[in-house]
Amino acid sequence: MAEQPPTKIAAIGDVHGEADLLRSLLDGLAALDPAMPIYFLGDIVDRGAESAQAFDIVAETLSRLPGSRLVLGNHDEWLLRFLSDDLEVDELFSWLGQGGAETLRSYGCDPDSTPATARAHIEATRPGHHKILADAPVLLVAGHFAFVHAGIDPQRAIGEQDRHDCVWIRAPFMNHVGQLSHVIVHGHTPQKKGLPVVTENRVSMDTGAVFTGSLSAVVVDLATDDLAFYRSKKHVPFEPIEPIRHDRGLGTVLDR
């Protein structure tokens, strides 16, 4: 018998090594629905002190909850390319300076050691992480929603998106005003007030966990298109929240 598609999906914004917040958020979501699939919107690693531990939680969730997926983020892609020995020297230094050093330390590696030594240690101690990264898609579509890390090129059809745009795009997507074929649920661009933001065409879920101490999730009801928002903070393990409605003259996805 074919697996039935989920009626609800929870999508979690950029984690960036905040393992405790991720654990609390997942516990809260499980209390709502223990079988609900989780879509991780990328950037599990870098900057925070517990990137490897956060990735352990992601790996366990993917194994435990059928239908759960990791969508590749740009920081995840850096780690993937590091593990695949596919970073040029300048790219390696760029990654190390933007959170990669913290990631290597979380795996028990010295950032000043040779890349080959660090790769060998990670592959030996957490052999499943490389495969999860290699298998991660850059875009997923479910119902009227598309889940992606950075965003999409508004000039391209949803099925014709460029991988680099899905992982890295900012202004051409964020500044686009107008309806799209799908509501885009994404991370990558931190929201200034530490709350999710909704417009007429997107749901922006990066609430800057490593800077604000707030990690957020949206539960998408694929049958009704209803959205419910939650977050975890250091002293508030799980709570419902209201996103910021950014009406650019066309209403928002919450007003439909």
Query: What does the domain layout of the chain look like in residue ranges?
Result: 8-255
Residue-by-residue pLDDT tens, the chain, 256 positions: 445 678 999 999 999 999 999 999 999 999 999 999 999 999 999 999 999 999 999 999 999 999 999 999 999 999 999 999 999 999 999 999 999 999 999 999 999 999 999 999 999 999 999 999 999 999 999 999 999 999 999 999 999 999 999 999 999 999 999 999 999 999 999 998 999 999 999 999 999 999 999 999 999 999 999 999 999 999 999 999 999 999 999 999 999 7
| Pairing, β 145-148 against β 183-186 | parallel
User: How confident is the model at residue 42, as a pLDDT?
Assistant: 98
pTM of the model: 0.97
Name the CATH architecture for the domain at 8-255. 4-Layer Sandwich (3.60)
Q: How far apart are the C-alpha atoms of 13 and 206, rounded to whole Å?
A: 5
How far is residue 66's CA from residue 52's CA, in Å, rounded to a whole number? 22
What is the chain's Cα-based Rg? 18
